Structure 1
Amino acid sequence: MDMHREGWLHAGGSVSLSDVYRTIAVRKDASQFRRALAFFGPGYLVAVGYMDPGNWATSLAGGSRFGYTLLVVALISNIMAIILQSLTARLAIASGRDLAQACRDAFPRPVAYMLWLLAEIAIIATDIAEVIGTAIGLNLIFHIPLEIGVAITALDVFLILYLQRLGFRWLEAFVIGLLAVIAVCFAVQIGLADPDWGEVIRGFAPTTEIVTNPEMLYLALGILGATVMPHNLYLHSGIVQTRAYGESLEERREALKFATIDSTVALMFALLVNASILILAAAAFHATGRTEVAELGEAHNLLAPLLGMAIAPTLFGVALLCCGLNSTVTATLAGQIVMEGFLHIRLAAWLRRLVTRGIAIIPAAGVTIFYGDGGTAKLLILTQVVLSLQLSFAVFPLVLFTADQRKMGALVAPRWLTAIAGLVAIIIAALNVKLLVDFLA
């Protein structure tokens, strides 16, 4: 139900993700802890997008090339993500709309269609990264050729459909289970790599070199694009509405509090994984003079001789495959939210998934066949920079909506939060302009 309509050009009608909308009960008579547990889950689906295979490529390249220097970028990106994801939960709970529906209802049709097209480009870029990452994971563990692995990724639609039929909680449990596997894999690998922890701590300190060095800035923006991802803003604003939290102001305030806690904790977990990838690359590759490692396959092959343990590359491959599978789930949901929210088009879940995956498979398969591992690494990093360039077109509307009391009512974002989020949006836009200038120059 829409609580505040007067600030929108068009009145909202349909609900977000109608097949799972308000399907998870939040019992009023339960303890506060149990009510908080009811909101546990969506944040981890969002966190998946902050550690997808594209993120691996940028973090590996950044760690091997510049050591621990870009850790501060991972930290700042994560702080930006926490702020922006809290706004998406606020938008959904206050207005009853996901970000795609809000854009459709707030802007003239031509503007809304342009934003839809940009959102679709971002999802395709995300999906390309997942196709390549999953294919490389299959290759590393089972020695399946990349070309065949790319084709196999089309079959993940059946896994997602099965989990959705079991219920949204099962989908969340699947994702959280894979996240736990990823965390264990990296914990073991970091222990084997034995990084210089003093250098790790210093890597979280800001340095002007990141902005002045074009190559470092390119990788920094890649990390930013891989961390603060446009499709996650659409995703979170839809899946938070799977909770049946009620319509009163008090119930919605509590829902906003618990949803924000859930996403913040989950994103801090994502930071640990992202930092682990970069630390592993810095300790295993940069410290040994291998400063050009960006291919996931090359990193996998080098880990055993450098760390002295045969299990290290296997753990790397397992974690990568888990990341690819997880990212597939969240990109599917984001694609559904974007298409339904902007266009009011409801495709069957299997058809929507196959169309999106088909568009991603074509460039991924072409690059894999003609350029091999080296080409896939460059394509992975390029997809993350494309995501960074698309980001402003999702962030600015989000900040504008949540600052508008006519749209948000009593849950309008406080001015201090709007000011910080506006600064984040401006920084992202300014960095992207500098990236384009450096690229053209």
Structure 2
Amino acid sequence: MPKKKYSTGWRNENKHPSLSEVFSSVPVPQQKGIWRKLFSFTGPGLLIAVGYMDPGNWATDIAGGSKFGYMLLSVIFISNFFAIILQHLALKLGIVSERDLAQACRDHYPPFISFILWILCEIAISACDLAEIIGSVLALKLLFCIPITWGVLITAIDILIILFFQYKGFRYIESVVAALIFTILVCFSFEIIRSKPEIFSILKGFIPNPEIIKNSQSFYISIGILGATVMPHNLYLHSSIIQTRDYPRTIEGKKMAIKYATIDSTLSLSLAFFINAAILIISAATFHKAGHTEVADIMHAHKLLTPILGSSLAGVFFALALLASGQNSTLTGTLAGQIVMEGFLNIRLKPWIRRLITRLIAIVPAMIASIVYGEKGTAELLIISQIILSVQLSFAIVPLVYFTGDSKKMGSFVNGPILKISAWLITVIVIFLNLFLLYDIFL
């Protein structure tokens, strides 16, 4: 019997709406000006940007700034450039194929391969959720002196907050995220003004330095920055939430959607880049300059900020930004977990059940670390979580780059030669760096 040919390039041509409860729920004006259209597409990029400024980024940026000054700013810049390219591919896949990345994997690969990819993605989401828990727990301790063990338990009840905003509508979730990002931006603007960084040293830091690769410690932190910046679950998330927009599912409608969604994504990631760079700059201008080159965790950084900057508000703003960062990441982590499970397994669970499962998986190691090792254990767990994310990144990038470069699947929207080469080059670099990291760690 001849093998069946699939006109669209997918093994399974039956499509199911991604995040069906909010699919195509945000209206896009068709006859209005560009600003009204851009505003209607503004939101998904902010949700994606959250993943690029979560507590995991704090740990790697603080460690990099305190130990190596401004040198690793170039790593943040390059990582952010990678992120802009990859998130563009993710939103394009969602708009053109009308599938999120998890659904695309399920409709392309055999069930066994899809199952493996799902397991790997769940591990990454749990690692990310672990970073969110630790960040929120540390912020609660800094702001309200709540013990770490109790803080871990308190973070479990944020399920109720998420469910409330999911019920109110997707625009409400985006508004909450925007407000929290604004809080983070204000806090770090204050910190960076107080720290009085050296402008020339900052500009020099954006020039790649060969010492980054030669020094095993700086290379290790650089991989952590890459893992904390380019988040694998964000690729699944973006390919889904862009479909919440009610744009015409036609060739022209999809072109318009890709155009405005890319603007939203690029501007939002530029904001995330500023915040990430600000964390490293503050760390370099305060800790590294004062000779505190071994500040590798958030608690230590908070303890030193107030005396070095000479302001009691420095520590408060630092902790407030950390709490906003952790809660923001919780919102997007919930959506990513739902998208991944529904997309790979075609299983529809109630949001609170899905969130509870993910939360429990992350709470167990966080609780053990907090009880056995205290603050130091949670800080080390934060770094480890970012390494796990970085290693898993390859398994999300390869399918994404392959799908968007396949003319059968993408039609006239297939990646052009320059974008295709750039995307595969980024993929090769990520895979090489992660293999090198594993070699360095184990051998």
Q: TM-score, normalization: structure 1?
A: 0.98
Unaligned 5+ segments in structure 2 are: 1-5
CA offsets per residue over residues 398-432 of structure 1, 9 Å max, x none? 00000011101121111211110110000000001
**Whole-Å Cα distance in 2 between the matches of residues 19 and 369 of structure 1?**
39
Correspondence for 2:91: 89
After TM superposition, list the pairs within 5 Å mapping 1:13-28 onto structure 2: 13-28=15-30
Residue of structure 2 equivalent to 1:276: 278
Q: Which residue of 2 aligns with 1:252?
A: 254
Q: What is the CA–CA distance in structure 1 between the aligned matches of 2:289 and 2:30, rounded to whole Å? A: 55
Cα deviation, residue 29, structure 1 = 2.1
Asked if 2 retains the 8 angstrom alpha-carbon contact of 1:12 and 1:97, the reply is no
The residue correspondences of 1:65-80 to structure 2 (distance < 5 A) are 65-80=67-82
Q: What are the superposed Cα offsets for residues 293-331 of structure 1, whole Å, 9 maximum, x if unpaired?
A: 112111111111111001000000000000000000000
Q: Which amino acid aligns with 1:223?
A: I
Runs of 4+ deviating beyond 6 Å: none
Return the offset for 1:208: 1.2
Residues 403 and 415 in structure 1, CA contact (< 8 A), matched pair in contact too:
no
Counterparts of 1:222 and 1:143, CA distance in 2: 29
Does residue 302 of structure 2 align to residue 300 of structure 1? yes
Corresponding residue for 1:124?
126
Name the counterpart of 1:158.
Answer: 160
After superposition, residues 102-141 of structure 1 pair within 5 angstroms as 102-141=104-143
CA contact (8 A) 2:15 2:98 kept: no
**1:5 deviation in Å?**
5.5
AA at the equivalent of 2:36? R
Q: Do structure 1's residue 343 and structure 2's residue 383 form an aligned pair?
A: no
What pairs up with 1:263-412 in 2 under 5 angstroms?
A: 263-412=265-414
Which whole-Å CA distance do the structure 2 matches of 1:35 and 1:101 have between them? 27
Structure 1, unmatched stretches of 5+, are none
Distance 1:426 1:396 in 2: 9
Is the 2:15–2:99 Cα contact (8 Å) retained in structure 1? no
Equivalent-residue separation in structure 2 for 1:61 and 1:367 (angstroms): 20
Partner of 2:169: 167
Supply the RMSD in Å over aligned alpha carbons.
Answer: 0.9
CA shift, 1:32, in A, is 2.4
User: In structure 2, the residue corresponding to 1:9 is in which secondary structure?
Assistant: coil
CA contact (8 A) 1:53 1:129 kept: yes
Post-superposition offset of 1:11: 2.1
Deviations 1:266-291 (A, max 9, x none): 00000000000001111110111111
Match of 1:419 among 395, 418, 421: 421
CA displacement at 1:191 relative to structure 2: 0.8
Give the CA deviation at 1:292: 0.8
CA distance, structure 2, for counterparts of residue 40 and residue 440 of structure 1: 43
Whether the aligned pair in 2 keeps the contact of 1:179 and 1:322 (CA below 8 Å) is yes
TM-superposed deviation, 1:12: 3.4
Give the 3-state SS of the residue equivalent to 2:289 in structure 1: helix
Distance 2:218 2:277 in 1: 17
- Whichever residue aligns with residue 244 of structure 1, its letter is D
Letter in 1 for 2:84: I
Q: How far is the alpha carbon of 1:166 from its aligned partner? A: 1.0
Q: Structure 1 CA distance, aligned partners of 2:72 and 2:441?
A: 20
Q: Which amino acid aligns with 1:68?
A: Y
SS of structure 2 residue aligned to 1:14 = coil
Checking the alignment, whether the CA contact within 8 Å between 1:295 and 1:376 is kept in structure 2 is: no
Structure 1 contact 12–101 (Cα < 8 Å) conserved: no
Alignment correspondent of 1:31: 33
Query: Matched residue of 1:38: which SS?
Result: helix
Q: Percent identity?
A: 52
- The residue that corresponds to 2:195 in the other structure is 193
Whole-angstrom distance in 2 between the partners of 1:200 and 1:359 = 40
Offset at 1:258? 0.3
Paired residue for 1:40, among 39, 42, 64?
42
C-alpha distance in 1, partners of 2:294/2:34?
Answer: 51
Partner residue of 1:146? 148
> Per-residue displacement from partner, 1:72-127 (whole Å, max 9, x unpaired)?
00000000000000000110111000000000001111111110011000000000
Q: Would the aligned equivalents of 1:161 and 1:349 in 2 still touch at CA under 8 Å?
A: yes
1:439 is matched with 441
Letter in 1 for 2:31: D
Q: Please, what TM-score do these two structures have when normalized by structure 2?
A: 0.98
Q: How many residues align?
A: 438
Show the counterpart of 2:3: none
Write the distance in 2 (CA, Å) between the matches of 1:307 and 1:5.
Answer: 63
Return the offset for 1:13: 2.8
d(CA) in 2 for partners of 1:211 and 1:295?
22
Question: Are positions 1:59 and 2:61 aligned together?
Answer: yes
